[in-house]
Chains A and B, each alone.
Chain A
Amino acid sequence: MKHLLTALILLGALNVHAWTLESKVQVGSKGEFSDTVTLFCRADESLCETVCGDKNSCHKEQELCFNCLGTANPILRTVFTEVDRLYRNTLQAVPVQNAAKVFKSSHVFVAARSIYNFYSAIDSVEVQTRFQNLCPSPSAQPLLVLEKNLNNEPTRIKYVICDGVGPYNQEMQVLEYSPRVESGAQEIKLNQP
């Protein structure tokens, strides 16, 4: 009985992990535009408190992203032109206790409708579809998380943030994302010579 109670408490604790992430361009009081991400947490969710000390939400301005507005960064080129071919979702969700680490300043969050898209129109359906295909479950606005180096340049596609209940029972989840290397996968057909 005691064990069952413990299991229920633990299950209950898992169920409270619920948060959403929004990326948008904001307009400040003086008319200044900034690229931001906001983490919203449900009342019973502790992630925001862990990330920024606020119970309800954490706001992060995506400050310097070196050479991201233009066609100079090859990672962003990949993101907007062929990310679905070259990378794959590992379906490995980041444990919720580690999710806070994703909201670091050394990460930049990129949505399909992004100011960083210099490869097609911002409303490109193709890009939208490409992004949506990154998630295992239907996601309206998946976000790719890119890692920046010490010079603030994105150098790696690290995570994808998708809607849907994953192993940690969240409204959104962080999934590891990595280059596609396995042979004969679903997307790459290999006929052994």
Chain B
Amino acid sequence: MKITTKISLLISGFVLAGLVPGLALAQVPAHQTTLLSPLSFTNRAQCALDADKPTSSVLVMVDGYNAGKLANSVAKLQGLAPEEQSNKAMKEFRLSVAYMTLNIMNKMIRGQLPVLPTNLKTAQLPKYVDASQRCEKAGNNCGDMNEYLAGIWARAGKRAELTTYDRFTQYNFPLHSSKDRLGCYYIKKFSALQGHLHNTEVNQSNLQDVALAYLNEADYLTGCFDSDDKLPNRFVTLQIDWETNKNSLEIQGFDFWNSLKIYLSWAWRNTNEVEMLSPSFGRLFRSIALEESIMFSPNGCKSMTKPSCDSEYLSVNSVRELAKLSDSVTPEQFDNVPVGTELELLEKGVRGVNNDFLGTQSHDTAQGWLSNFRKNLIQSRALIKTKYQAATMHLNLLQDQLGVDLLAHGMNKEVASHGSSDALMNELYYLCTEVRLAGDNSLDFLKSNIDRIAELKNMTQMQYSERRSIKEHIDFFNRLTSPILATCNQLEKQNYWSKPGYTVSKTGFSAWAKEMLQIGAEPDAAPFAPTAFSGKATLSWSSQTAAGAQTICSSSIDCARLAVKSVVDLYAVSVYADALIPLAGKSSDPNLFNPYAELTTCKMYDPWFQTQRMNKVFMIDLANTALFGWNVLPVYLDVNFTAPKVVSFNQLMKNGVLKFDPRLEKSKAQTSLVADFGPLLGAPCAVSLNNNGIKHYNFYSFTGLSVNYCDSKQKNEVISLKATDFANGASTERSFCGGCTLNFTAVAAASTATWSGGVNPAKFIVYLFRTFQKYFNAKKDKVNIPRGWTVNPAYAAEVYKKYGEIPSHCVDMLGKGLNCFADTCAAKAAQYIEQTYNAKVHSAYVHNDGDYQGLSTDTVLRTNLCEGDISVTAYCNENRLEKFRVTNVYGWSKSCRRALGK
């Protein structure tokens, strides 16, 4: 069913006219650098963690070859200029892909199209589940899903109709409201605007690169719909940035991207939109192998598809190797017997990330990079397809023309009549070895892998099963290997190959067997040619075919070896079929830039390992400190201290809240504390008070502390209830480094006696100092402790323009995704005003530093909204910016109050 719709409103109100005739009437999103998503910089451990989160920025890699070749053929048939038509078609193909992708994203964002759940097991949509399951059973020879999607498309934007069509709920319509925005860019050259792909941290230098790239963005980017004829269209990398609500993204991101791929594949072929976008070629474009021509990839460490440790996911991600520089690539796809994606992962092991390992920076243009990637991909794809075609053809021929009985009989006959010749002994040796490698259950080098082929979805759903199913081929192989193995066993028992003076020549093994047996090439050896023991080749093409006379196999032994080779080839195809032969109906989306997506999901890399190790060591050290140092830290808080608050040790001491054990000299204790808590003194600590139900108490005793380490977004808190009891805390969101919580417990005066014995402050201080020093040194591990930053390139550019460089005091704020102002809380308040009122903040400073607990800040801002100051009162903790909460916004002038709607 073909759906006819009128292309109408799209994302933002930018009208694109005159690019291609069909697009003239369409409203499409225009390119604006302000729509560029903030860059998410991560180190290795954070990158590994991020793989489990949905991305908001994707790359669409478009190969215009199919469109170009089509137009070339059309031009030749029509007597038109082939080159001109090819260029036109490639451009229109690129524009159509960009438009269709954005159109569908927009329809989902606006709630016109429902988001379809990825997990069918938990999906509450009976029609959708039913259609999906029926199509899968039918090996995609199914119109049900097309009809189902046509039904949705026809009801797009009609919520009530959609809800009755299938059981769609609010969950399927994210209703992101108008704040969601889409940006779409044609990447001319990979630059610092994709700086997160080649930097593992944020510093002055790479912030400056981001700023400069942003200021010179025309050199690196242009809009998706730029129709300049000078832009190459054969290999195009588009970047689509989706600015959306963080929570919605977390909950629904994977389903969103999955739905995009489903809708795109369907709508491309079953609506008239492509015809409208490309009036000349649109009708023909519908038949293009779209999933071969485009590929998605997350732009960074996050994912489009939730990682899962299965063969499909591993296979899809294995194409990453093909995206590396040509001269460094030895893709496994070229192996005769791939070891399998999981073992390859292990072999490659831990490696660097975000260090431009795919070489995006090594090419002068993005086109150059994609061209290299596509070249490798197409080569591997062709190899796999040819392998598959040849394997099935040979297996069909062997079954049609010979069959198991004839082959077994022929083999025995050859042994009987030529058994003593070296040639036969060699070939029989090859056959027996190869059958053992591929078909012997007891040794099982490959046997179980081969048996599994018949069950793999990627193989059973592959077309070209007109003659026989994969299962029938595998059954034939199993029936064939049985008599061969029996003959081989018998010959071995008879010491058949122990003939005096006989040594097997290794040159004749099949390439796949040589690979498995690690038999190196012998350049001087004569090339192996199988012998036709009966005088004529057993099976051959006659000279009457276009290919001419060709031997298929020379003898029964040779034909049996061909059967074994064909089945091994089918195994090799099955390993990479998901990556190289995408199943109909969905484009693939390998996580190209994050090798840890597979390593983490398959538990081969634990991003928390180093952190937990560090915490463990820290806990043990603290326990030792407590045991051998001092049981209770000699600091107390006044009972009238109200919790919880965020303070720093410095503040506590300055304000006189922190009390010391009266038996210690205050000045000495203070010095000790400074020495011990050096790294923590400036850091704000939340104070947690627990009166333990004691009604009469004089002071709080320090019982332990919680230390938060760096930006790991979850599982990041070490909580100690007492100094000897440290444990991993529950998942809480943090976005800062080195924060701490001081835990105090009410202590009645009398109980102070409990710690009076054995006090040895000096010893305690030494132990504690060591403990913290070790902990903070461990935290400096740049790779294994999760760390992440967010950089808004527009802010980096603004700072650079203002100062002529990135000042060091701005690095921290810019790395938190903020503009640079007097301090972080001011910058956060400025961000709030800019986002809420669509304003531009010129200056911002914190008017008061909050109360002594440091929670409430009053920021004064100058904006383009009005004449005069605006003040923002907010709860702000520099190290817990995610908890930032505005309590009041006030305009000091009339115009400001009006601008704020007050």
Contacts and interface: CB of A to CB of B under 8 A. Distances in A.
Nearest to A185: B542
A1 interface: no
Given A77-B389, A193-B406, A27 B78 contact: yes
Given A187-B545, A188-B397, A35 B539 contact: no
Contacts of A117: 73
Contact of B74 (A25, A123, A151): A25
Given A64-B269, A115-B74, A151-B141, A190 B538 contact: yes
Nearest to B293: A70
Contact of A69 (B284, B385, B536, B545): B284
B291 A33 contact: no
Interface string A29-45: 01111110000000000
Contact of A32 (B282, B536, B559): B282
A190 B70 contact: no
Interface residues on B, range: 35 or more
B555 interface: yes
Given A69-B288, A70-B289, A187 B542 contact: yes
A97 interface: no
A160 B409 CA distance: 38
Nearest to B552: A188
A133 interface: yes
Interface in B275-317: 275, 279-293
A152 B146 CA distance: 11
Which of B407, B410, B464 gathers most chain A CB within 10 Å? B464
Contacts of A84: 545-546
B289 A69 contact: yes
By DSSP majority rule, is chain A's interface helix, strand, loop, or mixed?
A: loop
A65 B287 contact: yes
Interface residues of A, number: 61
A32 B275 contact: yes
Contact of A33 (B76, B141, B283): B283
Contacts of B288: 67, 69-70
Given A78-B389, A118-B69, A150 B542 contact: no
Contacts of B76: 122-123
B463 A75 contact: yes
Given A33-B284, A70-B289, A150 B410 contact: no
Contacts of A118: 66, 69
A129 B409 CA distance: 39
Given A156-B466, A193-B414, A35 B143 contact: no
A74 B463 contact: yes
A35 B70 CA distance: 11
B137 interface: no
B547 interface: yes
B279 A31 contact: yes
A191 B534 contact: yes
Given A25-B74, A73-B463, A66 B269 contact: yes
Contacts of B329: none
A180 B292 CA distance: 30
A179 B584 contact: no
A113 interface: yes
Contact of B555 (A113, A189, A190, A193): A193
Interface string B384-403: 01001100010011001110
Given A74-B389, A115-B73, A188-B542, A179 B466 contact: yes
Interface in A67-102: 67-75, 77-78, 82, 84-86
Contacts of A49: none
A151 B584 CA distance: 9
Contact of B279 (A32, A122, A150, A188): A32
A15 interface: no
Contacts of B146: 151
Contacts of A115: 70, 73-74, 77, 284
Contacts of A151: 140-143, 146, 584
A181 interface: yes
B463 A153 contact: yes
Given A68-B287, A72-B292, A190 B66 contact: no
Interface string A10-53: 00000000000000110100111111000000000000000000
Contacts of B542: 186-189
Given A67-B287, A189-B542, A181 B279 contact: no
Given A64-B287, A85-B545, A179 B467 contact: yes
B294 to A, nearest CB: 11
By DSSP majority rule, is chain B's interface helix, strand, loop, or mixed?
A: helix
A136 to B, nearest CB: 14
B270 interface: yes
Given A70-B66, A74-B385, A25 B289 contact: no
Contacts of A77: 385, 389
A113 B463 contact: no
A150 B539 contact: no
A137 interface: no
A108 B270 CA distance: 17
Given A149-B141, A190-B401, A190-B539, A34 B293 contact: no
A130 to B, nearest CB: 5
B541 interface: yes
Contacts of B467: 179
B420 interface: no
Nearest to B534: A191
Contact of A71 (B279, B289, B402): B289
Given A74-B389, A75-B463, A153-B463, A34 B284 contact: yes
Contacts of A187: 541-542, 544-545
B758 to A, nearest CB: 79
B143 A150 contact: yes
A6 interface: no
B72 A122 contact: yes
Contacts of A186: 542, 544
Nearest to B400: A181
A152 B147 CA distance: 13
Contacts of A179: 396, 466-467
B287 A66 contact: yes
A191 B536 CA distance: 7
Interface string B65-92: 0100110111011100000000000000
B413 A193 contact: yes
A187 B692 CA distance: 94
Given A67-B288, A115-B70, A187-B544, 8 more contacts: A32-B275, A64-B270, A65-B287, A69-B70, A70-B289, A153-B463, A188-B541, A189-B537
7 contacts: A67-B288, A67-B584, A69-B70, A69-B289, A70-B293, A122-B76, A150-B138
Interface of B: 2, 66, 69-70, 72-74, 76-78, 138, 140-143, 146, 269-270, 275, 279-293, 381-382, 385, 388-389, 393, 396-397, 400-402, 406-407, 409-411, 413-414, 462-464, 466-467, 534, 536-542, 544-547, 552, 555-556, 559, 581, 584
Ranked 5 nearest A-B pairs via Cβ: A193-B410, A70-B289, A74-B464, A72-B289, A150-B143
